[in-house]
Structures are given as C-alpha cells and as structure tokens.
Amino acid sequence: MRLLTKNDIEEIALGATIVGSGGGGDPLYHKLMVQRQIDQYGPIELISCDELCDDDLIIPLSMMGDPLVAIERLHTGQEFEALLNMVTKVYGKKPRAVLPSEIGGANSLTPFLCSGALSIPVVDADMIGRAFPELQMSSAEIMGISACPAFMGDCYGNAVAIGARDGLTLERYARSLTVEMGSVALVAIYPLTGAHVKQGAVLSGSVSRVQAIGKRMLDAIKDQQNPVDLLVASMGARSLGLGMIDDISCSIQDGFMRGTVSVACCEATMKIHCQNEYLVACNGDCAVASTPDIIVLLEEETGTPVTSERLSYGIRVYILVLDSQDIWKTDKGLSLVGPRVFGFNFDYNDLSGNKS
Amino acid sequence: MKKYIIGIDIGGTTTDSVIIGMNRTIHAACKVPTENPLSNGLSRAIKKIFQTSCLDASSIDSIVIGTTHATNAIVQRNHLSKVGVICLAALSPTLLPSAYNWPGDLYRACLAHVVSITGGYECNGKVTGTIKKNDIIDACKKCVDAGAESIALIGVFSPLYKEQEMIARQYIYDYFNTMLPVSISSDIGTVGIIERENAAILNAALGACIGREFSQFADVCAQLCDAPIYITQNNGTIISVETARQLPVLTIASGPTNSCMGGAALSKHKDAIIVDIGGTTTDVGAVKNGFARRSLNTSNIGGVSINFPMPDVLLIAVGGGSLVSYGQNIAIGPHSLGSKFLEQAVSFGGSYLTLTDCALKLGYARGLHASMLDIGLSSLDAQRVFDVVKAKIVPLITKMKGQYKNVPIILVGGGAALFPEKFFGDTEIVPKYASVANAYGAACAQISATIDSVICMDNRDHELALMSENAQAQAVAQGALAHTVRIVQKDIIPYSYVPGNKARVIITAAGDRF
C-alpha cells in the first residue's frame, strides 16, 4: 500500500493520457478534482493486488459518454455514492476497493474521485492497459468473467443495477442510459472478487506503470529534452510524422465522438480515424497503424498529448505509435478490439510489422 | 485628404507612436514615458507625433491603439474590480468550486463571492433548471454585499444555448441599471466550463478600470483629432472603443500580436520568430504566412487557464529595465524599474543596476544618451549577465522555431538596441524602426468579421464554404480590401442529440484596411 500525493496524481494523469490513444478524455478536470479531494481528505490509498483477500468485492469504475459534456457539466460526487450504495444493496456487503476499468485518459483517475470522501482504497490495476470506447473491451471479458450485475450512477444521485445476458447487450443498454443521464454517467462492470484479481482478470500494476511514464515525460520536459525521443528510445514508439492539423471532421453519434483528423506532414497528409480514441492512421488510403496499437498525438511545442476533444485546427503534432499490450494481440483479443470490430476492412496482422 | 494613420502602443515603460502613410511607410515615430493615468501619456504621444511629423489632425484617417495594460493588470493583480460569480447550474456543488486553482493573490484580488443558482442546460438543449428572476437578483445582492463591483454569469452549456445567460443579464440590467456591469460567459469563451468561467471572471474584473481607461483614450483623442479611434484585439484586428469597454479580455494579448505583425511587416518576412524586448519583459512569438501564430485552445494568463484564441507567445521577465544582481549567481528581473528607468538606473545617476547599465558597460546600446559615470560592475560581470540573458531567451526561440531551422529571428522593441548584432542567432534581423514595431503593428491592424452560427453537418463542406464566403464578404463590407481577406479562425462545436446533426461554427475572416 502506498499513499498518493497531489504530485503522484500529476504524473499518473500525464502517463494515462499518453496510453489513452487520444481517448479517455483530457484528465485535467479529474486531476484538479482529485487534487482538491486530497486537500480535503488527505492522500489516497493505493493497494496492490496481493493485498486483497479472495472473497473481497472489487468494483471497477469508469465514466462513460461524451468527453465534450464531461468538460462542461462537472461531476457532483453523487454518482459514486449512489452507485456504491446500490452495489452494497445488491451484494449485501460493501466493496473492499475500487479500480480503474481503463487506465487511458481521464478514466484512470475516476476511481480516485470518491476514494477520499467515501474512504475506499484504489487497487493498482486496470482492465484494458489503454483506453477503448466500448465496455466489453476488457481483460475480464477475455477471462470469461461476467460483466453483470453492472451498475450505473448519475450526477443527480440516481443509480441503476443491470443484469444483461451478454456484454454486447450490456453495452447497448448502458449507452442508452448514458444518453438519458445527460450523456455522461458513472459505470461499474465486471465486479470482481479478490480471487479473480489474483487469477489474472486484471492487468496488475497499471497505475504505477503509467505513473512511471508520466514521471519520465515530466522530467524530460523540465530538462528541456524532447519527449518524443524519450518515447521512441524507452518505449519503442514509432514516429509516423510531424505536421499541422488542417481538418477535423468529427461529430457525436450515439454517444461517441467519431471522425477523421487530417494532419498535413511534409511527406504526406496523414489521416487519423477515431471513435473517441485514435484507432487507425492512414497515409492516403494505406493504413500504417491500427488498434490495438496505441496512437499518440503529441503537441510539438509542449510535448504534451492531445486528446480527441481538445483537437484544434492549426496545431502542430507528432504522430507516434506505441505497441499494444500482448493480451490484445491474441485471437480473442483481436476479436474484441481489432480494426474489423470498428468497421475497417483489414486485419491488424495485415499491416507490415504487425505479424503476431 | 486624410492620408495618414496613427498607431500607438501603450506599454509598461513607454508609449510609442508612429504616423504611417497609406503605403505603409513610416513618416515619423516617437516615444514618451508611459504615465499614470495612461491617457496622459497618450495625449503627450499624440502631440509629440504631430510635432515630429509636421502634420496636423486634418490629415489623420484614424488612430489605432494597442495596449498591454489588461495583461499587466492581471499579471500584477492591480486595477482589478471585485467580481460576484453567479453560476447557472442546477447541479451543485460540483467536485470543483469556481476558480479552484487560481493563484491565491489573484483570487483575493478578483473574487468577492460565488453563488450557484438553478439553471443550465444539458448537452441536447434540455433545460436542467429554469432561471428565476428573484434568484438572480438575490444572488446579485449577496455578491454586492460581499463587495462585488461587477458580475460574471456562467451557465452550463451556454456556448451552445445562450438564452439563459442573456435573460439573466437583462434582469440584472433592468434592476440595477448600469450600476452593476455583467459579463456573460457565452460572449467570451467556448465549451470547457472551467476555462470559460475563468475568462468571464477576468473580463468582469477588468471591466471597470480598463473600461474607464478606454473611455479616457477616446476623450483624449477626440480633443486632439476628430478621426475615428480603434483598439486592437488579441488576433491583431481592430474593435471599437465600445466593444473594448465591454470585453476587455479581447485585448489581453494585443500587445504581443501587434509586435509580431509589426516586426514581420517591418522586416518584410511572412514567416519569422519575433523577439520583442521591452522594459520589463521579453515576448517571443511567431508569424506564419503573415499572421501571428495562434496557440492551442487553452492559454494561460497570470496563472489562470482560459479558452479563447490567443497568440502563441512565450514570455520571460527580462527587459531593458530589469534589475540585475551579480555575485556568485546572476539574477535578472523579474522586477524592473519600468517607467522610472530614466531617473533610477545607475547610468542615469540613480542607484539601481539594470540590464541597460550592463549593456552600456559592454559598449552596446551606443545610441543611449547616458552619463559615463562609473557603472559599478566589471566588464567580466557584465558579460556574465549577458550570457545569462542569452541562456534564458534562446531556448524560447528554439521552442518557437519547432522544425523551421532557418527561419529569421526579428528583434524588436525598445530593448533591441541593447544587443550586438546576431546575438540571438545567425538569422537575426533588427529592422529599421524596430523599437516602435508594436505601434507599427497597431497602425497596420486589419479588420475582421466573425460569423457565429449553427449549421447542419450533413452538408458540411458546402455549409462551411458558405459561411467562409459570408465572413469574408462581411469583412469587406466593414472596409477590408477584398484581395487581402483570409479566414483566420474556424471553430466547430458539435451539438449532440439535436436532430439534424448540427454544430455551432465560428469563422473569422480578416483583411487589410488599406
């Protein structure tokens, strides 16, 4: 167990944005909220997976919905209290801890938003290793754990418990409810026992992992080194180019921000296709990088990552690709998050250099 | 008959003016110390420029004024009114109170009281809470009791749905008349409530003092000349005095924009890095294709994040009047003698060592008429000071350059004369009239027109093209020369769940006045 300070949160937020692949939302607002909570309630408990008992109840949390709404209508905290009370009612006992469903973007900090006020620790783990737009894209799904009973809470203090028969149905119901709740809602799916966690239902150590990335990036920026070089050297990132964003064609459909970003690089115009996250990078008609690999847009001047809702005409960005975690490159993994799942007509392994 | 334009920059240390002809050549230029109130220095500057140029009021087409005083007020926490913040937010409290991570001294200077009342919208236009006149008036009274001199109104989703903010403002005006000025956030910022709220609070805080000063500028100019007067805004284009009074945040960054545009125009380069060395600060900006480069959508002013278009500028507190201490470690600034320079600097008989004194010691700045009194530090130490200046400023230039290795570096501002040639790099240029580049930029400021409207995204390319044409036509209608008009800003904010796939689009076109 370690206690997280405001500075730790700063590092986690940056590292999480990098692995968010453009999605997960800008963690700025969550970061400020968590830091305020630390001011009010003290540092936050982060526990490791081995500290759990087999029959502990662990609740993964994430916010779902429209990132543009998340930066306009702020959370009230009632989402968490309502949801966790419903969990307690359904299970007949209180949860031992919470954890981030996805470690990419703002959602990396979602479970921390309540930990102080509700005195509940956060487990150092997540279920995706990055950000993905749909709920069933998680390590727990690959392990065959049931997504339900799932829970949702809204900023008004309403809570819902859902028993859906499969993950895809749950996704559809949850999306509809999110729309009703004003396009942003707190969601808990794949409730876990301590035993599940120890058997590999989660990716252990995720919070610490992204914190290490964030810390190194912040140190590089402070020492005026180029963070792109750092990512290429220490994380094996590939650079696809540097250019100016000259067109953004995104709209919100069914609760997702979908569209295409055009980056005019010297050699060619790169197009990045997104559905909240940056999913596929194309040079002309030819795909050069794809989900599940992580596509990062780093703003040239500051070296900081640009998330999809902060895209702006005229800014200059590096396009980088980070290798995906192994779990997603398996057949089962690719069946959940490979390019065909998002409507592209090629396979991850078709791209040169991606043969698994 | 009216063939000349006066451009004025009211800086922290000096008030600079130029008179230019319609062919953009500088007919005369002069500098006077900035005074308090600013309009005194302005008056002196205009009288002096008439004298120097041998022209009189009858030949003046217009007067354009740029000033950094809005920025200075925020950065120095000076001349700010106390603000009452009223949030139209049915859901409260949220996990983040207003002005949460503002620097403490700025918070204390600006915030009198914060109150949330029912109101606001969901993203699809559904009203979260209906606003009630009594709630609004009561909230204002509480703010006034706590010392507020103006109100900032912020409604959730107001950039997409303005009605509540506008109705609330009208209630306040009906009840308080002009006694309580109101800034509404949808006039100022875009989606992103924290940054928009910050911008609205700053606007309300600036309103009284800066607004009064803009009115005084108009009075002073009217006494000396009957030409129309304009104020420059953040994107380098002109606005009326009335607009500047209502929305002073629009002028916050006009100083750096003017120095960038002025520096590029003086040196006749369309792509360049501009280093403006003033009395207190050095601003490093960039010009791309003839226009000051815009930064990412959030910028920071005085330690506070805001989200309206701002020029991309890096700032450091090093200037000609900066106080210098040398010894084990060299320290330059952040404090500077400002306009007291000519009385208090060592080479002018005073007792404060400044960067200019070091320059004189090294034989730079030969144009300055300073006494040759013993400046009190060795040439070696003076050189160390200059090494530190280079080490502080060159990294900013490198950052601005990005991948453009050979782009010219244009040195402007009063402090440009303090440095030997090519001090900042091989591509450095110091154009003629560099010290008044800001005023030149103001004189040459363009006219812009902004169209802010909701369109259907199904037909996206067609609609955007139509809006662009309209914006350009409007700019021309206001006096811009048609062949110079270009689109300088394009923002698209999609509406969700409103049938018809709609988005709010803001397009700005700008062109030359002459």
pLDDT digits (tens, 9 = 90+) for B168-191: 999 999 999 888 999 999 998 888
Do A183 and B156 make contact, defined as CB atoms within 8 angstroms? no
Determine the average pLDDT of the residues in B244-262: 92
More confident residue, B498 or B266: B266
Lowest-confidence pick of A187-191, A205-209, B340-344, B422-426: B340-344
Whole-number pLDDT of residue B511? 93
Whole-number pLDDT of residue A254? 62
- Pick the most confident of A83-97, B81-95, B495-509: A83-97
Do A252 and B494 make contact, defined as CB atoms within 8 angstroms? yes
Do B297 and A310 make contact, defined as CB atoms within 8 angstroms? yes
Interatomic CA distance for residues A95 and A61, integer angstroms = 12
Contacts of residue A155 in chain B, CB cutoff 8 Å?
Answer: 91
Given B94, B101, B501, which is nearest A74 (Cβ)?
Answer: B94
Determine the average pLDDT of the residues in A302-328: 84
Distance from CA of B504 to the nearest CA of A (A): 11
Interatomic CA distance for residues B1 and B18, integer angstroms = 19
Do B95 and A75 make contact, defined as CB atoms within 8 angstroms? yes
User: Which three-class secondary structure state does DSSP give residue B283?
Assistant: strand
Band (A356; pLDDT cuts 50, 70, 90) = very low
Beta strands in chain A (DSSP E): 2-4, 44-47, 57-65, 97-100, 122-123, 125-126, 150-153, 159-162, 184-188, 192-193, 203-204, 238-253, 256-265, 269-275, 277-283, 286-290, 294-299, 316-322
Contacts of residue B296 in chain A, CB cutoff 8 Å?
Answer: 299, 302, 306, 310, 312, 315
Whole-number pLDDT of residue B102? 95
Provide the 8-state DSSP code for A71.
T
Whole-number pLDDT of residue B430? 94
Give the number of other CB atoms < 10 A from CB of residue A303.
21
Interatomic CA distance for residues B470 and A255, integer angstroms = 32
Interatomic CA distance for residues B147 and B370, integer angstroms = 48
Contacts of residue B316 in chain A, CB cutoff 8 Å?
Answer: none
Structure confidence by residue, pLDDT tens digits, B30-72: 999 888 889 999 999 999 999 999 998 899 999 999 998 888 8
Instruction: Report angle CA B76, B81, B84 to the nearest 5 degrees.
Output: 125
Question: By the 8 A CB rule, do B444 and B261 touch?
Answer: yes
More confident residue, B162 or B369: B162
Whole-number pLDDT of residue B316? 87
Cβ of A242 under 8 Å from any chain B Cβ?
A: yes
Do A251 and B503 make contact, defined as CB atoms within 8 angstroms? yes
Do A75 and B503 make contact, defined as CB atoms within 8 angstroms? no
Band (B372; pLDDT cuts 50, 70, 90) = low
Q: What is the mean pLDDT of chain B?
A: 89
Given A32, A182, A315, which is nearest B96 (Cβ)?
Answer: A32
Instruction: Report angle CA A9, A12, A16 to the nearest 5 degrees.
Output: 140
The identity of residue B63, as a single letter, is: I
A347: its two tokens: 């396979």
Band (A117; pLDDT cuts 50, 70, 90) = confident
Interatomic CA distance for residues A28 and A227, integer angstroms = 19
Distance from CA of B128 to the nearest CA of A (A): 10
Whole-number pLDDT of residue B342? 78
Do A29 and B194 make contact, defined as CB atoms within 8 angstroms? yes
Structure confidence by residue, pLDDT tens digits, A6-63: 999 999 999 999 999 988 777 888 999 999 999 999 999 999 999 999 999 999 999 9
Share of chain A above pLDDT 90, in %: 57
Band (A123; pLDDT cuts 50, 70, 90) = very high
Establish, for the pair of chains A and B, how many residue pairs have beta carbons separated by less than 8 Å. 98
- Pick the most confident of A90-99, A302-311, B332-341, B456-465: A90-99
Question: Structure pTM?
Answer: 0.84
Determine the average pLDDT of the residues in B8-13: 89
Interatomic CA distance for residues B18 and B6, integer angstroms = 6
Residue of A nearest to B507 (CA): A313
Do A76 and B402 make contact, defined as CB atoms within 8 angstroms? no
Question: By the 8 A CB rule, do B347 and B324 touch?
Answer: no
pLDDT at B417 over 60: yes
Given B100, B192, B494, which is nearest A251 (Cβ)?
Answer: B494
Given B95, B400, B493, which is nearest A74 (Cβ)?
Answer: B95
Do A182 and B122 make contact, defined as CB atoms within 8 angstroms? yes
The identity of residue B257, as a single letter, is: T
Determine the average pLDDT of the residues in B466-494: 89
Say how many Å lie between the first and final Cα of chain A, rounded.
36
The identity of residue B247, as a single letter, is: L
Structure confidence by residue, pLDDT tens digits, B108-166: 999 999 999 999 998 888 999 999 999 999 999 999 999 999 999 999 999 889 999 99
Do B122 and A183 make contact, defined as CB atoms within 8 angstroms? yes
Helix A28-41 to helix A6-19 angle (10° resolution) is 160
Distance from CA of B491 to the nearest CA of A (A): 8
Structure confidence by residue, pLDDT tens digits, A139-176: 998 888 999 999 999 999 999 999 999 878 898 999 89
Do B94 and A248 make contact, defined as CB atoms within 8 angstroms? no
Optimal mutation site among B296, B392, B455, B487, interface A, most CBs of chain A within 10 A: B296
Distance from CA of B456 to the nearest CA of A (A): 11
- CA distances to A331, B8, B19 from B2, rounded to whole Å, are 78, 18, 12
* β partners of residue A253: A256
Classify residue A156 as exposed, middle or buried by CB count within 10 Å of its CB (0-12, 13-18, 19+). middle
Whole-number pLDDT of residue A248? 81
